[in-house]
Copies of this chain bind each other. A is one copy, B any other.
Amino acid sequence: MIDFEALFKVSYGLYIVSSGNKNKGNGFISNTIFQVTSEPARFSACCNKNNYTAQFIQKTGAFSVSVLHKDTSPDIFGRFGYNSGKDFNKMEGMQVKFGETGVPIVLNDAIAFLECRVVQTFDVGTHLLFIGELVQSGILDDTLEPITYLDYRQVKKGVAPKNAPTYVDQSKLEKKVSGSAFKKFKCTACGYIYDEAKEGKTFANLPDDWVCPVCGTPKEDFIEV
């Protein structure tokens, strides 16, 4: 038997993985960055094949990782996590520096960065595993803690986008039946749930200019669930 709740006990951080160059770049929110060897220092980045950034990584043979902190702005998750760079330039207006390989490194809400040159690429089905050798790394802010995927789920109540390796179809999770009169409202963009019982305020009473704390979608684009 597979209990999909068990999958949420695996710990991850949250990162912006970027690639491209000064003319055109792209990035996406990833939770699946991890070190695979210590000598030399190499990191694995897991990327959906449909992900626009995957094309940039394959073209340039390099990627950067920006480590996000616990109070990362919801705009960052909205911009890099729930939108495609095919539709707009995600790097526009961002604080970006360019690495030794030429890839953009997003500095907004980042406490550290890694820059890697791809040395191996593995096909694991819907996703590609890029193995990158570390060429540069640095601390940007040593006072803030890295955000974990658990923080994101518990505090920010975010859910993984469909392209994420850790996406779980909500119908697979056991339904928790509640006898309460409180209602829940779901963001149609990112799946964030506004739970009146937890928030202590009805959805109707939220101001009209209230937006989804995860992806910035307006209140009117929420549906009752």
Interface residues of A (CB under 8 A from B): 1-7, 9-13, 32-44, 46, 65, 67, 111-114, 120, 122, 124-127, 129, 131, 134-139, 142, 145-146, 148-150, 164-168
A136–B111 alpha-carbon span in the complex (Å): 37
Q: How many protomers of this protein does the assembly include?
A: 2
Find chain B residues with CB under 8 A from A2 CB: 41, 134-137
Instruction: Tell me the interface secondary structure of chain A in the complex.
Output: strand
Give 27 A-B contacts (CB < 8 Å), ordered by A residue: A2-B135, A2-B136, A2-B137, A3-B139, A4-B41, A6-B67, A6-B112, A9-B67, A9-B111, A9-B112, A9-B139, A10-B43, A10-B65, A10-B114, A12-B34, A32-B36, A34-B165, A36-B127, A37-B124, A37-B125, A37-B126, A38-B168, A44-B46, A44-B124, A44-B129, A122-B122, A124-B131
Instruction: Please tell me which one of the listed residues B38, B136, B146 contacts residue A166 in the complex, with CB atoms under 8 A apart.
Output: B38
